[in-house]
Structures are given as structure tokens and as C-alpha cells.
Structure 1
Amino acid sequence: MICNLTIGKEKFAKDEQEVKAVLQGALKLREELTSFIAADVAAYQAVIACYRMPKGTSEEKSARKEQLQAALKRANEVPYRTAEACFRILTLNRRLPQIGNPNAVSDIAVSVNLAEAALQSALYNVDINCKYIADKEYVSEYHRKRWELAKRAEKLKEEIVSAVQVMLVD
């Protein structure tokens, strides 16, 4: 909302192109995140389909296990990509305290808090998916990436919220 309350105002003309770029980035991320809903459903359905596979013979058990592990890895990609997209929302908000309409600066704090909460929620889904993945190297790599992303997100959120809080007190 802050972008729409900034764009077209003479007072903010010098930063209008940057604010427009933020708005366009946000709209693209909304589309991307919306597409992840169907991707997540499809990935989960693939996992469920593997659990329903026959397991009467050793060959069936082996095929089921192999396909299940592949499906779990694919299912893990969606929440991780969701978390990455949420981080990009945080990044988009970074300059808004300096260039956006100060009358709507609280929108920035709301945006970054929601984005960071969504990021953390997606990472919890990564955690639960990794619990059932047998490939220890894969799991180790995702845990490393997951915690790194979470730390970066928390730091960026705190930076942006601090800038907003300063503006709210002035």
C-alpha cells in the first residue's frame, strides 16, 4: 500500500521510479507465491501416491522407497522456494522507509513482519520434509541453507523495523 500512496505524489517524484520498481517486484512475487500453492498441492499428492504404492514384494518395496524419496525431495523444494521468495519481499522493503510516503510507513513494518513469519512457516515445512528424507548429505545441505536464510531474514527484518520505529517516534 505504501507504494501506491507514494507513486504519483509530487513530493516523492525523485524516488518514484524506485518505488515503482518495488511495486512491480512485489506484484511479481505475489504471482510467484500464488503459483506455489498449486505446486505444493501437486508435490504433496505425489508423496501420498508413493505411500499408496504396493509393497508386497521386495521389488515393490524398493521401487516405493526410491520413488518416495524422490517425491519427498521435490516436495521439499516448494517450501524452500517459498521461503526464498519471502526473503525477496524483505529485500524489496529495505529502502521503503527512506523513499516511501512517511504517512504509510507502518505498512512497511506490517509487510516485513508478515513476510518473515511466512518465511519461517515455509522453513518449518522444510524441516518436516527433511525428517523423512534418507539422503543425509541432502538433508545436511538443506539444514545449512535453511538456518542461513532464517538468520539473514531475521537480521533484515530487524533492520527495516528499526528504521520504521524511528520514523514512528519522530
Structure 2
Amino acid sequence: MNDGYEDVLEAIASDSPTPGGGSVAALSLAHSYALATMVVRLTLKSDKWAEGHSISEKLLVQCETGMPRAQELAVLDAEAFDAVIHAFRMPKGSDEEVSAREQAIAKGYLEAANIPLNTAQVSLELMRSMFPFASVCNANAITDLGAACYMAHTAIVIAILNIRINIGFMFEEDSAPYEQIVSLIENEADDLVSLTMNVINNRM
């Protein structure tokens, strides 16, 4: 059960700034995919839940594609912020070096915002799929789907924290589109978690 977990947790707990919150957001998404996959398979396993088989098959494809992508995003997030740290350590003894450093910092923060944005977008796609699935999935695993829903929502909340701090270092004209997208994701995710959990609670 704990194979691999200890190494991941130790890496997060280290005195290095990476992996940090952005990677944890992506790992939360990976756990959401894993839980949703389990509920899908338990639904497909029995004819009792035949009404949910069609949506289960579609969701299974989404999860099997999404889980490795979420793990990849966890790595990419750490690499993106490592690039920011490296950029700040670049020499600034000449005008050329200062310019190169500033460009590297700007590029680093852009990528450090784009990776968690991707995490948030993919998490929202999963939440959109789990909402209709909640009505027809195996009722014996309904709380596991609730956990998956909360994990995807948590991934979005954490990812947005990272997006907002990183766009804070950008020029306003560059950061404004991010804030618009983030607000839309945030509002829809909040609505979806409420709607999905309402269905789940009514089936318990």
C-alpha cells in the first residue's frame, strides 16, 4: 500500500521548494482519477448498475488517459518552478546579463502559471464527468466517488493558489487573461462540487 508513497512524501517534506503545492495539486488530481476509476469498474462489474455502464465506459477512458497525465503534471510543475529559481540565480553583471535574466524570470513565471492552469482545467473536466455519473454509479461505492469529487475540487483550489501567486509577478496585461480564466474555473468547480455532493448525499 505504501510502496512509493514514502519517497513522494519525503520529497514534499524536504527543505527544497520543489515539489510544492503545484505538484500536490496534480497528485490530488491523480488520486481523484484513481478513485473514479475504481467506482467505474465496480459499476461495470455488475448488471445491477447497467444504467451506468455507458457513462462508465466513457469515464474509464478519460481516467486511464488522465491519471498518467496528472502524474506528469506533478513533475512538470516542480521543473517549472525550478526554472524560476535558476533564473533568479543567473548573473546580472552586465546589461546583457540583466536582460537575459529578466527574460528567463518572465518565461519561468509564465510556465509556472501554465502548468497549474492545465491541472485546474483537467480537474474541471473530470468534475464535469463525475456529476452525471454520480446519479447512476454503483451506490455501494458512492462515498468513494464523493472523495474523488472532493480531491478534484481540492486540486483546482490548490492549483489556483499557485496560478495567482505566479501571475502576481507578471505585467498586468499578461496576467489579466489568467485571472479571467481562473475565475471561470473556480466558479464552475464550486458549483459542480455542490451539485455532485448533493446527488451523492441523496443516494447514501
Same fold? TM cut 0.5:
yes
Q: Which amino acid aligns with 2:197?
A: V
Match of 1:148 in 2: 184
CA distance in 2, matches of 1:74, 1:61: 20
2:195 aligned with 1:159: yes
2:111 aligned with 1:105: no
CA distance in 2, matches of 1:111, 1:14: 21
Q: Which runs of 4+ in 1 moved over 6 A?
A: none
Match of 2:68 in 1: 31
Instruction: Indicate if the aligned counterparts of 2:146 and 2:200 stay in contact, CA closer than 8 A.
Output: yes
Give the superposition deviation at 1:17. Answer: 2.8
Instruction: Indicate if the aligned counterparts of 1:109 and 1:161 stay in contact, CA closer than 8 A.
Output: yes
How many pairs were matched up? 167
| Greater Rg by CA | 1
CA distance in 2, matches of 1:149, 1:15: 27
The TM-score, its normalising length taken from structure 1, stands at 0.92
Instruction: Indicate if the aligned counterparts of 1:19 and 1:99 stay in contact, CA closer than 8 A.
Output: no
2:107 aligned with 1:70: yes
Contiguous gaps of at least 5 residues in structure 1: none
Match of 1:57 in 2: 94
CA RMSD of aligned residues (A): 1.3
The TM-score, its normalising length taken from structure 2, stands at 0.77
CA distance in 2, matches of 1:14, 1:113: 24
Give the superposition deviation at 1:96. Answer: 1.7
Q: Structure 2 residue aligned with 1:94, among 118, 131, 142? A: 131
Give the superposition deviation at 1:68. Answer: 1.0
Instruction: Indicate if the aligned counterparts of 1:26 and 1:92 stay in contact, CA closer than 8 A.
Output: no
Structure 1 residues 12-51: aligned runs within 5 Å: 12-51=49-88
CA distance in 1, matches of 2:63, 2:111: 26
Give the superposition deviation at 1:8. Answer: 2.6
Q: Which amino acid aligns with 2:99?
A: S
